[in-house]
Amino acid sequence: MTTQLTSDVHAPTAAGARRARSGISWWFVVAVLAVAATYIRAIYFTPLEAIQGPAQKIYYVHPTSAWVAFMAFGIVALASIGYLWLKDLKLDRVAESAAEVGVVFTSVTLVTGSLWGKPIWGTWWTWDARLTLTLFLWFIYVGYLVLRGAIEDREMRARYSAVLGILGALLIPFIHLSVYLFRTLHPMPIIGKPSRPSLPNEMLETFALAFVSFTILFIALFRARYHLAIARDELDAEDRG
């Protein structure tokens, strides 16, 4: 007995699966070019910062990765709410793809933060408010992905992940608040930051380029992952059907 795949909201379209198998997507090309351009510009065409020297160059990567990491989680949270409301598996695929790409950018944020911190602050890790928040974001992502990996049932996986995604989003402000309160009551070593207001134009432009190129990179990776999710779901449906 056959099942109608195409009219079913659980099974993806044949077109989507085709796209997953097709060649290089334009988003990737643009993303790679943009990121490369950013690095070249950052290393060769942007002035050295007076106090921090070459180490400051990592700062073009660090907050931009952080921006993508948190934005990705915002997507996870919104898609989670959407899934619980509409029960459309497409939204769950969006959440899962955003989470997998997001965790990578979160890791990059933590590592670059650490790499930058060593020459500047002398330690590999500080409990800087933003870095701590990013660390917790990382834990939430990992929990989210492990949860997904531990559930076979497609629908239960989507449902449970959505619950975790929403609760995780609720947690972020509480972590922020707790860490902030902790730091104001426990004076920590004053940390020098790059002087933001007086950044010369070239630095600002490089920053802007970095933000844009990382966002494009996120979109490229997200799309690839999303099509992979479609193909995997389609295959699973065939296996079972």
Partner 1 sequence: MAPDARPGTLAAALLIARKDLAIEFRTRTAFFSAVVFALLAIVIFFFAWDPTAVTGMDLAPGVLWVIFTFAGLLGLNRSFSLELADRAIDALLGAPVPREAIYLGKALANVVFVGAVEAISIPAVALFYNTPFGGRWLAIAGVALLATIGLVAVGTLFSAMAVNTRLAELLLPMLSLPFFVPIVMPAAQATARLLSGRPVLEAANWLKILLAFDLVFVAACMMAFPFTIEE
Partner 2 sequence: MTGATERVHATSTGDAEVEASGLTRMFGGRRVVDGVDLSLRAGDCLALFGPNGAGKTTLLRMLAGLLKPSSGTARIGGVTLPGGEEVRAVVGLISHASMLYGALTARENVEFAARLHGVRDARTAAHVALERMRVLDRADAPVRSLSRGLQQRVSIARAMVHGPRVVLLDEPFTGLDATGAAALTAALTELRAHGATLILVTHNLGEGLALASHAAVMQAGRFVRVEPCDELDAAAYAATYRDLVTRGA
b (16+ CB within 10 A) / e for 52-74: beebbbbbbbbbbbbbbbbbbbe
CB 85, min distance to partner 2, A:
15
Dihedral sign (CA 153, 92, 73, 222): positive
Q: Residue from 166, 212, 219, 224 that binds partner 1 (CB under 8 A)?
A: 166
Instruction: Report if residue 125 touches partner 1, rule: CB under 8 A.
Output: no
What is the DSSP secondary structure assignment for residue 43, as one 8-state letter? I
**CA-to-CA distance for 135 and 97, rounded, in angstroms?**
20
Query: What's the closest the beta carbon of residue 1 comes to partner 2, in angstroms?
Result: 6
CB neighbour list of residue 110: distance below 8 Å, 6 or more residues apart: 131, 134, 135, 138
Output the CA–CA distances (angstroms, integers) from residue 235 to 22, 215, 229, in the order listed.
17, 30, 10
Q: Which of 13, 123, 178, 195 binds partner 1 (CB under 8 A)?
A: 178
Contact call for residue 84 and partner 1 (CB under 8 A): yes
Residue 10 touching partner 1 (CB under 8 A): no
The minimum distance between CB 151 and partner 1, in angstroms, equals: 5
If the CB atoms of residues 171 and 212 are measured against partner 1, the closer one turns out to be 171
Locate 110 and state its tokens.
């933590």
Stretch that binds partner 1, among 25-33, 106-114, 167-175, 206-214 (CB under 8 A): 167-175
Q: What are the residues binding partner 1 (CB under 8 A)?
A: 84, 136, 139-140, 142-143, 146-147, 150-152, 155-156, 159-160, 162-164, 166-168, 170-171, 174-175, 177-178, 181-182, 185
